[in-house]
Amino acid sequence: MRAAAISTPRLDKMPGMFLSANPKELKGTDHSLLDDKTQKKRPKTFGMDVKAYLRSMIPHLESGMKPSKSKDLLSADEVKQWSESLEKLLANQTGQDVFGNFLKSEFSEENIEFWLACEDYKKTKSDLLHCKAEKIYKAFVQSDAAKQINIDFRTRESTAKKIKAPTPTSFDEAQKIIYTLMEKDSYPRFLKSNIYLNLLNDLQANSLK
């Protein structure tokens, strides 16, 4: 039977749920990821939010609504492909959001936020590199950063030197370390998590209707 694609609502409209960094927003000077005063707080109702999140992802399962023909479509096959590699997961906007929500529950959302910031940084015009490099460094890399990433001292020092004369590859070394950390640590747990498995199972069940 043909798999049914279903519409996904904008996750920024769902109260209490994590929204991963939108790279385009890093162009602004007041981006929340770059606020050094940001404090990490564990969501108090994460377990309850998972069910609400899944219902929001597939509203027609309970309401009987027909899938809309919007651009944001999510199918069981697409979600299943997320399990093939971290690269495929991060290549999908909804995948970024779902994985980011999982990382938030593990107090490690700074990893995907930094990775996304680096992806955006690589696309930055040369005359804006210095400004954006400083923001990313202060937010994620320096020793007292509010969302300090877990990298070794040598890489931290090397990155600090590189941003003095920034190029599009200034953060590549640090980004690779964080990607590997997510790939070997968080990603395998994500694939076994309720938030991923329940989403996949519900989409597969819906495709059989």
Tell me the average pLDDT across 86-104: 97
pLDDT tens digits, 121-147: 999 999 999 999 999 999 999 999 999
- Answer left, alpha or beta for residue 64, where phi above 0 means left and psi between -120 and 50 means alpha: left
Site of tokens 């906007």: 93
Split at pLDDT 50, 70, 90, the class of 94 is: very high
- pLDDT tens for 33-75 read 444 444 444 444 444 454 455 555 544 333 333 333 333 478 9
Task: Report the amino acid identity of residue 77.
Answer: D
- The string over 121-142, giving b where at least 16 C-beta atoms fall within 10 Å of a residue's C-beta and e elsewhere, is beebeeeebeebbebbbebbbe
Q: The pTM is what?
A: 0.68
Confidence check: pLDDT of 200 > 70: yes
Percent of the chain with pLDDT over 90: 62
Per-residue confidence (pLDDT) for residue 208, from 0 to 100: 76
| CA pair distance 13, 11, nearest whole angstrom | 5
Fold of 74-207: Regulator of G-protein Signalling 4; domain 2 (1.10.167)
Q: Rg of the chain over CA atoms, in angstroms?
A: 18
Count of CB atoms situated within 10 Å of the CB of 160: 14
Per residue in 173-197, pLDDT tens?
Answer: 999 999 999 999 999 999 999 999 9
One-character DSSP codes across 39-104: -----TTHHHHHHHHHHHHSTHHHH-PPPP--S-EE-HHHHHHTTT-HHHHHTSHHHHHHHHHHHH
Residue 81 pLDDT: 97
The per-residue pLDDT for 30 is 44
Residue 31 is predicted with a pLDDT of 43
Structure tokens at 38: 């940001």
